[in-house]
């Protein structure tokens, strides 16, 4: 402040309404950015949770296949099987991952491929940020002739 302003009694005694308005706008933009970051975090957490549940379900079916190797070779866990083991696993898949989730079990000799599909629309992330889809997920990935387009997929290959 200049000495001339002091001599005439002019001094700044507070903030102007314009300064307060600018501060509120800057704070609002910061809070909106923080809310967007929180939403992205929640979506990513949900996607990670669903993927870990799919992993656990695949390991469960692989353990069942190895525990009953002879019956597995006879088709006990194959797609379309009405065996209690497979039916209970199918029920766990839909209860855990949603009503439109599905699991596939493909047997080739001593090897098995377990595929689990689920709709992750709640936790959808941008395609550039999504994990790379395993090529095995697209081979014969249909439910009554309708492909699982847009669904997430977990593929697990194992020996039985």
- Tens digit of pLDDT for each residue in 6-30? 566 566 666 788 888 999 999 999 9
Would residue 15 count as lying in a domain?
no
Whole-angstrom distance, CA of residue 22 vs CA of residue 154: 49
Would residue 105 count as lying in a domain?
yes
In terms of residue numbers, what domain contains 151? 47-159
Whole-angstrom distance, CA of residue 110 vs CA of residue 104: 17
Q: How many domains does the chain have?
A: 1
Would residue 91 count as lying in a domain?
yes
**Tens digits of per-residue pLDDT, 22-69?**
999 999 999 999 999 998 888 888 888 999 999 999 999 999 999 989
Decide: 131 and 150 in contact? Cβ < 8 Å.
no
Whole-angstrom distance, CA of residue 74 vs CA of residue 21: 75
Would residue 113 count as lying in a domain?
yes
Would residue 155 count as lying in a domain?
yes
């Amino acid at each position: 402040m200049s000495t001339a302003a002091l001599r005439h009694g002019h001094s700044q005694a507070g903030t102007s309404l314009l300064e307060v308005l600018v501060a509120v706008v800057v704070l609002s933009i910061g809070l909106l950015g923080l809310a967007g970051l929180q939403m992205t975090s929640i979506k990513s957490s949900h996607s990670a949770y669903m993927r870990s549940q799919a992993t656990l379900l695949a390991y469960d079916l692989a353990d069942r296949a190895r525990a009953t190797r002879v019956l597995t070779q006879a088709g006990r866990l194959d797609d379309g099987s009405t065996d209690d083991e497979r039916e209970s696993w199918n029920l766990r898949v839909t209860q855990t991952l949603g009503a439109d989730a599905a699991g596939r079990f493909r047997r080739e000799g001593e090897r098995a491929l377990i595929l689990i599909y689920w709709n992750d629309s709640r936790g959808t992330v941008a395609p550039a940020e999504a994990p790379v889809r395993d090529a095995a997920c697209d081979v014969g990935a249909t439910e009554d002739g309708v492909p699982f387009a847009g669904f997430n997929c977990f593929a697990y290959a194992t020996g039985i």
